[in-house]
Amino acid sequence: MTGFNKHRIREIKAGKQQRGPVVYWMTRDQRVDDNWSLIHAIQKANETNSPLVVIYALAPTYPGANLRHYDFMLKGLQNTEKVLTNKGITFHLLMGNPPETIPNFLKEVEASVLVSDFTPLSINREWKQSVNEQISIPHLEVDAHNITPCWYASPKLEFGAYTLRPKIRKHLSAFLTDFPEISLKTPKLLTNKPTHWHNTLNWLNPFSHVKPIKWLNPGENEATETLRNFLNQKLTGYATKRNDPTLKWQSDLSAYLHFGQISAQRIAIETMKANAPQEDKQAFLEELIVRRELADNYCYYNPSYSRFSGFPDWAKQTHKIHRFDVREYLYTPQELEHVKTHDPLWNAAQTEMATTGKMHGYMRMYWAKKILEWTTCPEEAMRTAIYLNDKYSLDGRDPNGYAGIAWSIGGVHDRAWPERPIFGKIRYMNYEGCKRKFDVDEYIAQHTHK
């Protein structure tokens, strides 16, 4: 089945549609293929016989972003521009804060309608609100990131995967469809000024101490290649091997998903078609769909998603009781960042993240829980874990990160466990437990500077 489900779109600013070009403000879904926002923008342009312009507004600073992130993102966007141009679609990179650049651009080109991607994170929502206050044309938001649109899957903050899963299942057949083939039929009215990409990094002048990574190449084609390799080589066995950090049996798709260089819906479609045991497909789709969309639900309906105040009441209560428990080890954020703990397993995990831009999923849980155990209070643990994760992880600054850290430190989407010091009823993890699960020495050897 193909087709555009109208519930994927919502009008976030009413207005009078003018006669000028349709403008698609690309934010979270930085790709040409399998992009519902772009599909809708093309449909709109064709319907009204208007040109289409795709814009990306590059803010001079984005919280937590550094050279590692910009390198990956800008190379991906450069490729996006090339593919769009080949399809006869104009692309503009706007330099400056979106609330300043976008309304001006819309006025300049006399835009008829604005189409944008959905994202639950606060900075992007604030930008959108400010843009909406300054424009009088309609602004349509499309959820091109989630398979079931976030607001449609559930109207409220969910307790956990067990409450969101049935809601998503109910809607999946209506949304998990093939993508329609569609091309722009309208003339290209605006001149395509090629972007001077080499000047862009100079203009941003990002914090350059965190180096770009080399083992994962940015771009839509590379994302598709990574997916193909995963489906051929690692989908079989995913259910049992993904939690062993020494095996590296995950898909490595998170950075591509974060920058929208691949569509989760495409990944799901290809996974379902793949030749692999059903239990492996199920395990992977659970992470890709339920866990990932649960993180969006958390950030969308909980404005305190990155803070202690966002934790469920039972977790706040248990932290209140245990916040003054004596810590055997106490580290400052700087000591943690510079890998100065007594625990070689934690040090290896931090090193893996700092040097490769990705920590194995299983280790992320252990890593964050130890930050709770070794810092003065849960508030500081949250701040430190988010600071480190957003700074070093290529897939950082993502709802998955905020939800994952809040799960580890604040019991979000989890339940109460037997009470113990410091953690209270928050689920505990320790070195001995890891030793029972995988070859800890092997993981340490893999990620210790020789």
Ligand X SMILES: Cc1cc2nc3c(=O)[nH]c(=O)nc-3n(C[C@H](O)[C@H](O)[C@H](O)COP(=O)(O)OP(=O)(O)OC[C@H]3O[C@@H](n4cnc5c(N)ncnc54)[C@H](O)[C@@H]3O)c2cc1C
Tell me the two tokens of residue 222: 């590379």
Q: Strand, coil or helix: what is 301? A: helix
Of 293, 313, 350, the closest CA to residue 175 belongs to 293
Question: Residues near 256 by Cβ (< 8 Å), separated by ≥ 6?
Answer: 222, 223, 226, 262
Is 12 in contact with 124 (CB distance < 8 Å)? no
Closer residue to ligand X in complex, CB, 4/428: 428
Cβ atoms within 10 Å, residue 424: 22
Closer residue to ligand X in complex, CB, 42/299: 299
Closer residue to ligand X in complex, CB, 52/168: 168
Least distance (Å) between residue 292 CB and ligand X:
4
Closer residue to ligand X in complex, CB, 50/224: 224
Which residue(s) pair with 11 in the sheet?
140
Q: Strand, coil or helix: what is 351? A: helix
Q: What is the DSSP string of 93-120?
A: EEES-HHHHHHHHHHHHT-SEEEEE---
Closer residue to ligand X in complex, CB, 64/96: 64
d(CA 181, CA 444): 48
Least distance (Å) between residue 349 CB and ligand X:
10
Is 359 in contact with 393 (CB distance < 8 Å)? yes
Least distance (Å) between residue 34 CB and ligand X:
15
Closer residue to ligand X in complex, CB, 105/443: 443
The torsion angles phi and psi of 57, rounded to 5 degrees, stand at: -100, 115
Max CA pair span of the chain: 69
Least distance (Å) between residue 433 CB and ligand X:
15
Of 315, 349, 333, the closest CA to residue 385 belongs to 333
Closer residue to ligand X in complex, CB, 254/351: 254
Closer residue to ligand X in complex, CB, 40/291: 291
Least distance (Å) between residue 365 CB and ligand X:
4
Least distance (Å) between residue 25 CB and ligand X:
23
Of 148, 108, 201, 132, the closest CA to residue 7 belongs to 148
Least distance (Å) between residue 350 CB and ligand X:
12
Pairing of strands 139-142, 9-13: antiparallel
Least distance (Å) between residue 343 CB and ligand X:
16
Task: List interacting residues with ligand X (CB under 6 A).
Answer: 242, 250-254, 257-258, 287-288, 291-292, 295, 361, 364-365, 368, 389, 393, 395-396, 398, 400-401, 404-405, 407-408
Q: How many residues does the chain have?
A: 450
